[in-house]
A and B are shown apart, each in its own frame.
Chain A
């Protein structure tokens, strides 16, 4: 793929993400459309209700648009927690091999081994439901993902000669991590952030589906799926529409993550094989 085309695709992806964020911000405007109106329940697709209404008479389009907010804010919070704690931990562990770095990595493995849903139920029981709880539960499991990825990307850099030169220049590990290592692994971090956004949206839908996510009346795609399951024969669109919304947004973010990680790899980015003449 030529690098110009690649750039266009990536900027197209960014545009879609901005559209998504605008929709999320538009949630308050939608509020009047998803009030419970039993008299309007299960309306088919029409000019007044472009995607019909559900069993409580709420407009499905407004619910889908309103659902962007829960998805995006939970996923973003989870990523901020995961990246904010995971990236420094990963860089710290990569800087040298000692007791602290081994502890960080072992703790990672420990969290990886823990069933995420059980933890979410636990956090739910302690703190109750809501955006913050869901973001916290998902974010906790993002920490080892970021720590591992950054560890893996940064580890080989620490053995480079320019790092030795920086040590001889009197720089501390923290200074080296900040000025040399972090800029070189930033593209890896951005790719991972995008991937985790996608996975965070999926996780939020999952939590809301089992009733551990955001609290009604705030709309959530996962809860829409839950409520639609008893009506799957009568009104299959009630399940299909939020399902498509989840699939599309997860796809958008993970695909962007994939493209960004291509970008992180200069060999794939420049698209020429490295021949030695």
Chain B
């Protein structure tokens, strides 16, 4: 049974057509995955469905919801109905909450405001919905404020706030992008449960194709504001060649690692990093947090090591210590050559370049070279960046190009060790593939040792010789990447591998 049918939705902003003739349906209990590169119009589609388009946008088309036809250009007439029947959850639950209102009251609020419930009655229903959304019973939701719970719990509360009004359709715009893999899986499972048990139709927007493939019934692919492919899962190459190609990109087979004997470049001996957190100004109690705990590892010359773990596992703290940006509380970092040069590439390409500097000036910084120096141009070319872009500023180039610039800056200094901190997790899968290929090539060209920090084990598999799994600051597993993949020992490793190894060809997991 079709719950929602969208007919030829178009949106114009000024003279630009941002969405062009979009039509699709969502059935009762169906999960429809919407994929596309950033800027392809995914979020704009979600906003059009909820009536949240920016003021200057002009929508057209019709939306048939529960058998009722509504013209999309008349936003006001439709607003109330839409709010009730279509629920919406966002990528960043923190931004969607009022910091001065308890979690529970957020969920109860709509019942009071819209349905005329009394507060006690609304809170009772809110508690039940929070339970349904898997918000831990042990947390007193009406006494806790958004900043006092974790990101995953906030996202559950957000889902509860959407579910409490019993919508027919739920639109989830990148609901798990800000979460780590394990939490992501739990949230996706919850969404799936909502679809199969409550008959909720879900439009799930994501750039994470493998995650979508695990839970969606159908995939839609957008490009430049148009719907270019639509396919039931499991998908076949004949049906959806582009989707199949993108999926292959996200799971490319590992590069054969060249040699296995690497002379040691760097060793750490029982490195620890402690933070003392005082809980309040007057309370004397201190909590000691071990960001990194007794980590001993060695990195060989020209070797690529993947440092894998969930967020908060201490990966970045360890990287800062190796880079010399932070000092270890205990233990030593020893370079075979006495002192090593380290360069880093960061997760957010936009934040890693000075917004006012030209790209060329940023690349020339480590060697104190002027922006138009031939060596700067050479570094740019090495990183696959058109030297014509060197005179531009960061906001004038794309995220992928900015990441190439950051890589060019790092390699121009000819470092002994290049630390890559989640270098591809903010990028679309197509750009991600290009950057990973670039890193493979750079290793082949220059033989730079790399430490590749990621929670994306498929990228780790593709690039690394050895893999180190970190949990709560400690190394829980390490070994040759191929071995770790074929026979993981530790529970954390297994969870990380399980979270990232679906197969689109097998379709959704039947649980």
Partner-B contacts on A (CB < 8 A): 160-162, 164-171, 180, 183-184, 273, 275-277
Judge if B72 is at the interface, Cβ distance under 8 Å: no
> Which B residues are in CB contact (< 8 Å) with A170?
366
Contact B366 A184 (CB under 8 A): no
List, in ascending order, chain A residues with CB within 8 A of B352's CB: 160-162, 165
A277–B413 CA distance with the chains assembled, in angstroms: 37
- In the complex, what residue of chain A is closest to B38 when comparing beta carbons? A276
- The answer, yes or no, to whether B258 is at the interface (CB within 8 Å) is no
**Which residues of A are found within 8 Å of B353, using beta-carbon distances?**
162
9 new A-B contacts, CB < 8 A, other than A162-B351, A168-B325, are: A161-B346, A161-B352, A162-B354, A164-B325, A165-B406, A167-B325, A168-B343, A168-B366, A169-B365
Inter-chain CA distance A276–B356, complex, in Å, is 22
Chain A residues with Cβ under 8 A from B54's Cβ? 273, 275
Bound together, the chains give a CA A166 to CA B323 distance in angstroms of: 12
- B353 nearest in chain A by CB position: A162
**Cβ A277 vs Cβ B366 within 8 A:** no
Bound Cα distance from A277 to B409, whole angstroms? 30
Contact A180 B354 (CB under 8 A): yes
Which residue in chain A gives the minimum CB-CB distance to B413? A169
**Nearest opposing residue in chain A for B41, CB measure:** A277
**Dominant SS at the B interface?**
loop
* Alpha-carbon separation in the docked complex, A237 to B43 (Å): 63
Contact A168 B43 (CB under 8 A): no
Contact between chains at B323 and A168 (CB < 8 Å): yes
A272 smallest CB distance to B (angstroms): 9
Q: Shortest beta-carbon distance, B22 to chain A, in Å?
A: 13
B342 within 8 A of A: yes
B348 in complex: contacting residue of A161, A171, A183, A275, CB < 8 Å: A161
Tell me if A's interface is mostly helix, strand, loop or mixed.
helix
Alpha-carbon separation in the docked complex, A216 to B444 (Å): 81
Provide the residues of chain A in CB contact with B18, threshold 8 Å.
277
| Contact B40–A164 (Cβ < 8 Å) | no
Interface membership of chain B positions 373-404, coded 1 if the CB is closer than 8 angstroms to chain A and 0 otherwise: 00000000000000000000000000000000
Q: Which residues of A contact B324 (CB under 8 A)?
A: 168
Neighbouring A residues of B355 by C-beta, 8 Å:
184
Residues of A within 8 A of B140 (CB): none
Is residue B265 contacting chain A, with contact meaning CB distance below 8 A? no
Question: How many angstroms between the C-alpha atoms of A184 and B365 in the bound complex?
Answer: 17
Contact B409 A276, beta carbon cutoff 8 Å = no
Which residues from chain B contact A184 at a C-beta distance below 8 Å?
Answer: 354-356
30 pairs, A vs B, C-beta closer than 8 Å: A160-B352, A161-B344, A161-B348, A161-B351, A161-B352, A162-B351, A162-B352, A162-B354, A164-B325, A164-B344, A165-B344, A165-B346, A165-B406, A165-B410, A168-B324, A168-B342, A168-B343, A169-B365, A169-B366, A171-B365, A180-B354, A183-B356, A273-B54, A275-B44, A275-B54, A276-B38, A276-B43, A277-B39, A277-B44, A277-B225
Nearest chain B CB to A181's CB is how many angstroms away? 10
Indicate the size class of the contact surface on chain B.
20 to 34
**A166 (CB) vs chain B CBs: closest residue:** B365
Which residues from A are CB-within-8-Å of B409?
A: 165
C-alpha spacing A184/B356, complex, angstroms: 7
- Which residues of chain B (318-350) have a CB below 8 Å from chain A? 323-325, 342-344, 346-348
A160 close to B351 (CB less than 8 A): yes
CB <8 Å contact, B346 and A164: yes
User: Which residue of chain A has the shortest Cβ distance to B412 in the bound complex?
Assistant: A169
Q: Is B362 an interface residue (CB 8 A)?
A: yes
Complex formed: what's the CA distance from A163 to B221 in Å? 38
The smallest C-beta distance from B407 to any residue of chain A, in angstroms, reads 11
Give the shortest distance, in Å, between B56 (CB) and chain A (any CB).
9
- A277 near B40 with CB under 8 A, answer yes
Contact with A along B42-83 (1 / 0, CB 8 A): 011000000000100000000000000000000000000000
A273 vs B324: C-alpha distance in the bound complex, in angstroms? 39
Contacting residues, chain A, for B366 (C-beta < 8 A): 165, 168-170
A160, A165, A170, A171: most-surrounded residue (chain B CB, <10 A): A165
Residues in A with CB closer than 8 Å to B325 are 164, 167-168
Cα distance A164–B410 in the bound complex, in angstroms: 12
Q: Which residues on the A side are within 8 Å of B342 (C-beta)?
A: 168
Q: Which residues of B contact A276 (CB under 8 A)?
A: 38, 43
Cα distance A43–B353 in the bound complex, in angstroms:
67
**A residues in contact with B410, CB < 8 Å:** 165
Chain B residues, CB < 8 A from A167: 325
Q: Say how far B464's CB is from chain A's closest CB, in angstroms.
A: 22
B356: A residues at CB distance < 8 A: 183-184
Complex Cα gap A169–B38 (Å): 32
* Cα–Cα distance between A276 and B41 once the two chains are bound (Å): 8
Name the 4 nearest CB pairs between A and B, nearest first: A169-B366, A161-B346, A161-B352, A161-B351
Contacts of B365 in A (CB 8 A): 165-166, 169, 171
B343 CB contacts on chain A under 8 angstroms: 165, 168
A162's nearest neighbour on chain B, judged by CB, is B354
Most buried by A among B54, B324, B346, B365: B365
Which residue of chain B has the shortest Cβ distance to A163 in the bound complex? B354
The minimal Cβ–Cβ distance linking B304 to chain A, given in whole angstroms, is 19
Residues of B within 8 A of A166 (CB): 365
Bound complex: CA of A275 vs CA of B324, how far in Å?
38
Which residues does chain A contribute within 8 Å of B225, judged by CB atoms?
277
Report the Cα distance A26→B16, complex, angstroms.
Answer: 56
Q: B220-253 vs A: 1/0 string, CB under 8 Å?
A: 0000010000000000000000000000000000
Complex: how many Å from CA A161 to CA B347? 9
Q: Which residue of A lies closest to B348 (CB)?
A: A161
Name the interface residues of B274-333: CB closer than 8 Å to any CB of A.
Answer: 323-325
Q: How far is the CA of A127 from the CA of B71 in the complex (A)?
A: 78
Q: CA of A169 to CA of B41 in the docked complex: distance in angstroms?
A: 39
What is the CB-to-nearest-CB distance from A121 to chain B, in angstroms, rounded to a whole number?
A: 36
Inside 8 A of B44's CB, which chain A residues have their CB?
Answer: 275, 277
Task: Give chain B residues whose Cβ lies under 8 Å from the Cβ of A162.
Answer: 351-354, 362
Instruction: Kindly list chain B residues whose C-beta atoms are within 8 Å of the C-beta of A160.
Output: 351-352
